Each structure stands twice: as structure tokens, then as C-alpha cells.
Chains A and B, each alone.
Chain A
């Protein structure tokens, strides 16, 4: 397990008209890490994800993935290089079955001969065997999340960015997700970056945490360090809480 940086972000800025959503953000993620990206609502986390994965073009700054400058690269190119993501609001393929949806992702790396095996493998890993033939539009929230994850996983990513994958899950479901993510890191060497509000998950699996507020990085460190960081507490709870 090396500590080579797999993703490096330099001075990334993204504006929408007068609003600066992401302001000069710099950070890096090392191979094999699970990094948490937290911050109050509106801090710019999803915008940051979008700018890194190519859904938005940054106004300035650079994104370097596996040593290659990928700033402003089209989303499908980023995926082909090994960077995948999930969405905050599940963007499902409503009329497709679960296994077909996973298959779409699998074609990223597989050809016609190997794709079926990959689908089976991912379906098993994400515990989707029972519902593999069902239409995505008929699924409830938790299974839908697993499908979302499975799809992204099928693309065989080196870096997986998860946007609020833990939201709205019951404690059991959450534990299952956390377990799955740990297995991803350990068994398959997938580096993870998770945007989260569910603190249990952040504290539970993240080795390092980056805190965003108003589009800027305000703190970075281990879970323990972040918990006691004054600026972080202030950002979440306001000035009074610090005192």
C-alpha cells in the first residue's frame, strides 16, 4: 500500500455568476486512502466533485489524476481513466433492470466476452442477487443506493467518489455500506473519497478528513483532530458553540 497521491487538486475555483462556489481549493488523496469530505450544506462539496469529474469545467486551477492533468476532461474520459462517482440524488436508469444498469458500467473495461462475468461479480459483491432482475424504477432508496454503487464499481475504478451515499439509510443499512466500503479498500485497492453528512460513517471509515466551508478548505486531519478543531465546530454550529 503506497502513499502515492492518486488525485491532486490545485487551486480549483468554480463560479456561478457572482457566486464563488469553490474557492481556491487544494488537496490531495493518496492511494488506498478513504478520505472524507465534509462541511455544512452549501459548502460546495458536490460542486467540487462535479468540477473534478468533469461535469463542470473549473474556472481556474488544475486536477491531476494518476499523474495526468485531467482538468476539464469530459466525464466519460475521466471514467475511462479510472475515476468514477455516484450522485447525491440517485440518478437511476428507471426502465432498466438492475443487472442491465450494472452492465452499462461494466462495459467501461470489459468487452462482450468478459462483461457477463463482471456483472455477476459486482452483483454478488453489492448484495444485489435477489433483485438483479427488477426494474430500477421499482426499487426503494437503500437498494437503489446499492445499485448506484454497483454501477460505479462495475467501471473498475481506481478512485471512487461517493456523494452522500449514507444519507437516509437505516443503521443496519449504514453498517452494511460501511462494511462494503472497507472491503473495497482492502480487497480491491479502490481509493475512496466520500462526501458525507452522516458523521457515524465519516468517523467510522475515514482515515483522513477534509472540511469545506463556503467553498474553502478550513481544516484537514484525522477524525480526532477534526472533532476538536475550533473552526470546524464554528462552521457547523456557529460562533457561540465554540465558547
Chain B
């Protein structure tokens, strides 16, 4: 019974992958559509990375923008000053973000800053970095710093269309998803889930709260930092507004709405919500700038009130029902067989 289940799952995943790989071929001509799917992928990466600290670890981190900005500035500055390729730049960007996460997280977790206060301080962190980089004339400053222009160059990560970015971000997303799955099945994953549920109980079972949270934070920061490197190349410049509170909040919203701890949850939310947002932007233009954010907020509130487990649970339940209809299994817990995160 189990192997039949496995076969179905694997074939679904492969089919999904095939479709996703072929998307640019179908949409490649239409610049607008390519922007849309690339943006979806970007947020998918951010939100899936967030899942590690937020969904699994239960810490409401609102500082994604901090790590994104750091990655962007690192990669961008390396390119501007020393002509270092963003391929390397994004790795370094990820490392810088990780280092910063450690700097911030070590004291925070060591002193047991929890729950609300963690969320608050992470929210403020983004704004602080924004101001800092705005004031830091050397590297930042209040205006855009344009990256060297090339029509199409793999070395400089600049292209005439969005298609290469699509594939790069897709690769990052797959890495992020892979990490999620691996972690959720490992000791760290189980420990994080336990911490998110009940920190005191977890601690007496031998879970080192500080070390686990820090590790989760650092992995998440690395992914987001690396994405920041790509982000800079996508836009062609770096600017203090990359340290965006809005993006940070959006990332957390996607993570929560999608389903905290469920590996594919944030991705589902990203696909649905970001598409919707781009659609709004296209039809209303710049008029009602804040509208998409208002809608996001309402959705977050509704989910928090009525379906706190997230929308991915709808998918999970539907999948479960479909499986039992097809009589693939006689057990009750079909899909959650592997780990808490699936």
C-alpha cells in the first residue's frame, strides 16, 4: 500500500516539476507574465526559507528584509567595486546575512527574548538597517547605486529577459524546499517543531532552545541573503529601500497563511497571493498602491481567526480524501506519515 502511495506522490511531483521547467517556454515571449512568475518564485524562496524559523521554530521573524538587503548590498558592492561575479557575490551575501543573524540572534536567544518581543525587535531591525545604509555614504546612500550595465552576461548576471532569472530562482526554490524537507525529518526539525509548540516542555526533553533557534535563524538568513544577491541583479541597482518592512511582513504572512511548518505551504501561499497581487497591480496600475497589502492583511486576519493551520491543510486534506477514494490505503493518517512537516 505504501509503495503505491509513494509512486503516486513521486509522479505528481515529477509532473509538477516538468510543468514548472517548461513554463518559460510557454510564456517566454510575454514579458509581463515572466515578471509575474519570477516574482512568485522570489517570494516562494523567501517564504519557504522563513518556514524554517517561523513555521518550524515558531518564531515570528519579521526581518526578512534585513537579510535580503544585506545580501543585495554585499553582492552589489562586490560587483561594483571589485568586479566580483554575483554568482560568488550571492554566496558571500548569504554568509554576511548569516553572520549578521548570528550577531543578532546569539544575544537575543541567549537572553531568552521570546515570542512577541522577538517579533517586535526583528520588525524594528529592518528599519534600523534601512536608515543605517541610507546614512552610510560609502556603500549606500539615499539614491540608487546602479550595477554595471550589460545587455546579456552570465558573469554579471544581467540578461535581456527574465527567463534566466526564472531558472536561477527556481533552482533556489528547489534548494529551499529540499532543505525544508531534510530538516523537518531530522533531529533539528523535530526539535524546532517541539520548541514552536511548547518551549518549556521541549527543554526538559533535552532540546537546547537557544542553539536550535539560532541554527534555524542562520539557515534562513543564508537563503534569504543569497536571494538578495539575485534580487539586486534583477533590479540592476541597490537601494536602502531593499530593507523593506513591507516585504518582511509579506514573507511572514505568506509563511503563516500557507501553513506554518508545512514544507510546501508557503509556496502555495506565494503562488496564490503573489499572483493575485501582481494581477491587482496590473489592472489598477499605481493608483491604489496599498490595496494589495490591505488584501493580504485581511487574508492573514481571516486565516488566523478561522484556519490557523493554513491553507495548505486544505490541500493536504483533499489529497488524503482523494487517496482514500482511490483506495490506496486503509489507514487514517495518509499524508502525515513521514514527518510533522508534510
Are both chains from one complex?
A: yes
Closest CB in chain B relative to A30 CB, distance in Å: 23
Is B203 close to A, CB under 8 A?
yes
> Are B205 and A79 touching (Cβ within 8 A)?
yes
Interface string of B179-200 (1 = CB under 8 A from A): 0000000110011011001101
Q: How many whole Å from B289's CB to the nearest CB in chain A?
A: 37
The verdict on B331 contacting chain A, using a C-beta distance below 8 Å, is yes
Q: Is the CB of B340 within 8 A of A100?
A: yes
Say yes or no: A104-B204 contact (C-beta < 8 A), given A112-B187, A133-B332.
no
**Does B333 sit at the interface, judged by CB under 8 A?**
yes
Of the stretches A86-94, A175-183, A184-192, the one at the interface is A86-94
B207 within 8 A of A: yes
Any B CB within 8 A of the CB of A80 = yes
Residues of A contacting B336 in the complex (Cβ-Cβ under 8 angstroms): 97, 133
Contact with A along B309-341 (1 / 0, CB 8 A): 100000000000000000000011100100110
Chain A residues contacting B200 (CB-CB under 8 Å) are 55, 75, 87, 91
CB distance from B256 to the nearest CB of A (A): 14
Q: Is the CB of B198 within 8 A of A92?
A: yes
Residues 87-114 of B contacting A (Cβ, < 8 Å) = none
Compute how far the CA of A243 lies from the CA of B338 in the bound complex, rounded to whole angstroms: 63
Question: Is B204 touching A84 in the complex (CB atoms < 8 A)?
Answer: yes
Contact, CB under 8 Å: B331 / A76: no
CA A154 to CA B207, docked complex, whole Å = 13
CB contact under 8 A between A79 and B198, given known A96-B340, A100-B340, A104-B190: no
B206–A79 touching, CB < 8 Å: yes
Cross-chain contact A94 with B186 (CB below 8 angstroms): no
Closest A residue, CB atoms, query B309: A95
A79 cross-chain contacts in B, Cβ below 8 A: 203-206
What is the interface size of chain B, counting residues whose CB is below 8 A from a CB of the partner? Answer: 26
Which residues of chain B are within 8 angstroms of A14 by Cβ–Cβ distance? none
Is residue A74 contacting chain B, with contact meaning CB distance below 8 A?
yes
- Tally of A interface residues using CB under 8 Å: 33
Bound state CA distance, A152 and B203, in angstroms? 11
Question: Which chain A residues (43-92) contact chain B, with CB distance < 8 Å?
Answer: 53, 55, 74-76, 78-80, 84-85, 87, 91-92
Assembly CA distance A84 to B340 (angstroms): 24
Whether the pair A100, B208 counts as a contact (CB closer than 8 A) is no
* Residues of B with C-beta under 8 A to A155: 205-206
A156 CB, nearest partner CB in chain B, Å: 10
Taking the closest CB of chain A, its distance from the CB of B208, in whole angstroms, is: 5
Asked if A105 is at the interface (CB within 8 A of a chain B CB), the reply is: yes
Residue numbers of B with Cβ under 8 A of A are 186-187, 190-191, 193-194, 197-198, 200-209, 261, 309, 331-333, 336, 339-340
Q: List 25 A-B contacts (CB under 8 A).
A: A53-B204, A75-B200, A79-B205, A84-B204, A87-B200, A92-B197, A93-B193, A93-B197, A93-B201, A95-B261, A96-B194, A97-B333, A97-B336, A100-B339, A101-B194, A103-B190, A104-B190, A104-B194, A104-B205, A105-B206, A133-B331, A151-B201, A152-B204, A152-B205, A155-B206
Interface residues of A (CB under 8 A from B): 53, 55, 74-76, 78-80, 84-85, 87, 91-97, 100-101, 103-105, 107-108, 111-112, 115, 133, 151-152, 154-155
20 new A-B pairs (CB below 8 Å) besides A75-B200, A96-B193?
A: A53-B204, A74-B203, A76-B206, A91-B200, A92-B201, A93-B201, A94-B197, A95-B261, A95-B309, A96-B194, A96-B340, A100-B190, A104-B190, A104-B194, A104-B205, A104-B207, A133-B333, A133-B336, A151-B201, A152-B205
